[in-house]
Structure formats: structure tokens, C-alpha cells
Copies of this chain bind each other. A is one copy, B any other.
Amino acid sequence: MSDPALPFPRNIVEAVVAEHGVAPGRASIREMNRIVNAIEARLGARFIRMEFGIPGLEPHPLAIEAEREALAVRRLGGVYPPFDGLPELKNAAKGFAKAFLDLPIPAECAIPTEGAMHGCFISIGIASFRFRDRDTFLFLDPGFPVNKLQCKVWGVRTESIDLYDHRGPKLIAALEERLATGRIGGIMYSSPNNPSWVCLKESELAGIGALCTKHRVIAVEDLAYFGMDFREEYGDPGIPPYQPTVARYTDQWILVISSSKIFSYAGQRVAVSIVSPALFEERCPALAARFGTDRLGHAFVHGGIYPTTAGVVASAQVGLAALLNAVVEGKFRFTDPLREYERRAQAMKAAFLKNGFRLVYDNDLGEPLADGFYFTVAYGDLDGSRLLDELLCYGVSAIALAGTGSIREEGIRACVSLTSLDMMPELRRRLEAFHRDHA
């Protein structure tokens, strides 16, 4: 990485931003990506890119080999996959749930999806049309903005509770108030949380679970960052501690398990949703109007998977099955390569904190946060938008926290995945220059 003079020429940065017609503080991840690409091209300089939450590692060769064999030897490319998934992936997911969540489920309840996005999309629909008059979906924010777009596509309203000022008993009390209205069909959160990296405690999951049972609301648990609370080791099959989950506290859940981050397998769009066995068997007359069947598990497959994609790419199902089986059998520990993100987050957070920044979401009910894929920072009294404008002039890109549904205006979300450890000296140099000019 070159060491350009800092700050970059402000007039050029501002001109490129203006050409894109969107303020950095309002830019989506992809828009920010395009703006930064354009500045890089104009200046011939590289950014420290923290805007994009993409995996920075390579998929395991086991998956690639399994896909090749599925196509070249087993010839699965010419055959429609079953809508409810290839049995080998369903069984592998069953094994994974037992080994890493200590959750016994029938293979039937594990449904392959075209990426976790697909699982979230269908889950939101199922939760929202399960009963009449549940016209609203609730998020524990901040979160992934596209989940709110999914609600819009379904024609479902959204509400949110912010984890910034709602943790522990306060979170549960706020949740009770919302669920008691009767308008909420489902609730979604990720833990570790994108973007704040707060992790819900067992007591919080227990509270959420009890309320979901009481009000018959589906908890859609987005496990995109499975095992990535690195304060614990969740990567040993059949050995506690297990990844925390609401599934221990209620039968009203759908778990969405992504392969993009834990296996860096984002390109092949394959994931698994696990529907609670109790929900899977439930009969919900209201579902039939949208999904063509009143059986909830059947609705997920025949009203969800079938009309959207008619099943999941055959070779990728075989690839993911190979990965899940390998980690269940202890052939490799999926958390080992991921700890690279922990090391990066430690180094990056230290560089920010040393140069006048502070964490926005800064503790887990009093405990220090884990180091992982994302963190949130603010500087002085700059709001997120102003902070981004300034950081762009120092070759550092991120997205505004406000775009993630956070109530906090002052911060940005930083992703560690594209900043390797050898880039840390340059990150420090840039943040020092920034701090020198703004202190």
C-alpha cells in the first residue's frame, strides 16, 4: 500500500462525491463503494476500506472440490433440486445444529436457502402472515438495512428498539410493551450484532424467548456471525459453550444460518434456515392466503422457496454440506481462520481509540465488547455524515451508523474484513493525520 500525502486534495474528493449525487452520510454500502472506487481511480491512491461487510478470507477447498464432484461426477447440474433441499445438506445441518447449538432437530426442519438473505425474506413473510392483523415486524437495532427493505417488499410495516439504550431488563420491558399491542408478527436481530458487535446475554435471550412464547411472535435469529463472539470458543463440536440462541427458551423461532462469513462462502449463495419443530408442524389458517397452505413448514418450502427460486443451486448445497460435515467431524475448526477478524478488530480499534475516537456501542451490559467483524466509532461532536466526509479526505471509508437504523447520529460502522494486519501501520498514520488536523 502506498503512503500518499494526507489529507487528499479536498476539492477532488468533494468533486467526486458531488458527481455521485448522494451524500456519504446517506449512502448505502454499495453507493459508498462506488464513490470510493471513483475517488481511488481519480487520485491513484488506495483507501482503507471499512464500508463493505464482505468476507476477506478464502472458502475452504473442501467445498470447491465437493461442488466440482457434484457437477462433473454426480451430474446434479441437469436435475431440479428438491424444493426442500438435498437430503445431504438437510442432514448436515441437523448435525451442525446438534454439535454447535446443542439443538436436536429433525433434518426436515433444516431448509436450504439461496443465501441467508433468502431465509430472512421468507421468514419475515411467514412471521407476518401467520396471523391476521400482525402488520408490523420488529427489529432490535442497529441492524442490516436490507432486512427493512424486505419488509417493504412484503408490504409489512417496521418498528425498532435500539440496543444502545435497551439492554437487559430494559430491553425485555420495551419488548413486552411492543408485543402486547398484538400488531407484531416477528422480531429479528443478529447476535453478534451487525454493526455494533454487542452480543445478547443468555438472560436477554431468555426474556425474548418467554415473550415470544407468550405472544406467539416468531424470533427470526440471524446467525450470520455464528461463533464469532471470540470471547468464547464456540467452534468445538459437542463441547460447551455453545453459540447462544433464543431456541433454548421458546419454540417460536427460525434460525438463519449463513455460510458467507463463517465459511467465507458468499459467492455461492447457499445457507440454511432451521424452523422450530413446533412451528414446522403448526397449522395457521391465515398463512394459506399467501402461501397456498396452512402448514407452516410446508408454507416455508412450497409457498416460500418454490415460488421464489424453485430450490437452491445443487452444487452449492453439496459444497456447504461438505463444510458442515467436516466441522462436525472435527476435521477443522471453523472459528480458527475467523480469529483473523478478531486480531484485526483489536488492532483497528486500538488505532482509532488512540487517535481521539470513542466506541459508540461500547459495552455488553457492562462488559467490554468482543472484537469481531464490525465496530462503531465516533469522533468529537461530528455527526456520522460529517465524520465520513472528513475521513474520506484521509483515505478511510465506512458507512454512517444512522443508515443501520441506529438512533445514534454521531457514529460510523467499520468493517474489518478488508484491512489485513499489514495495513495497520498505514491506518495508524492516516488516523494520526486526521486527529492532528481535527483535535
Q: Which residues of A contact B (CB under 8 A)?
A: 30, 54-55, 57-59, 63-64, 67-68, 71-72, 75-81, 83, 114-115, 117-118, 121, 125, 146, 149-150, 152-153, 155, 260, 264-270, 289-292, 303, 306-316, 319
Contacts and interface: CB of A to CB of B under 8 A. Distances in A.
Contact of A267 (B63, B125, B314): B314
Given A54-B79, A77-B267, 4 more contacts: A78-B264, A115-B309, A269-B309, A269-B311
Majority secondary structure, A binding face: helix
Contacts of A290: 152-153, 155
A269 B308 contact: no
13 contacts: A54-B79, A58-B75, A64-B71, A67-B67, A78-B265, A78-B266, A79-B267, A80-B266, A81-B269, A114-B114, A149-B306, A153-B307, A155-B290
**Chain multiplicity (copies):** 2
Nearest to A293: B149
Given A307-B146, A309-B117, A57 B71 contact: no
Contacts of A125: 153
Contact of A269 (B63, B71, B312, B319): B312
> What are the nearest 10 A-B pairs in CB distance?
A267-B314, A117-B310, A114-B309, A150-B307, A59-B77, A77-B267, A313-B313, A80-B266, A64-B71, A59-B78
Contacts of A115: 309-311
A77 B315 CA distance: 12
A430 to B, nearest CB: 26
A64 B80 contact: no
Nearest to A116: B310
A23 to B, nearest CB: 17
Nearest to A264: B78
Contacts of A308: 114, 117-118, 121, 153, 308-309
Q: Kindly name the residue among A76, A266, A270 whose own CB sees the greatest number of chain B CB atoms within 10 A.
A: A266
Nearest to A310: B117
A152 B289 CA distance: 7
Contacts of A266: 77-80
Contacts of A77: 59, 63-64, 67, 265-268, 319
B269 A313 contact: yes
B57 A68 contact: no
Nearest to A52: B80
Contacts of A146: 306-307, 310
A89 to B, nearest CB: 13
Q: Kindly name the residue among A75, A121, A269, A319 whose own CB sees the greatest number of chain B CB atoms within 10 A.
A: A269
A396 to B, nearest CB: 22
Contacts of A64: 71-72, 77
Contacts of A59: 75, 77-78
A392 B115 CA distance: 40
A116 to B, nearest CB: 8
A313 B58 CA distance: 16
Nearest to A74: B267
B315 A268 contact: yes
A54 B155 CA distance: 34
Q: Kindly name the residue among A78, A260, A316 whose own CB sees the greatest number of chain B CB atoms within 10 A.
A: A78
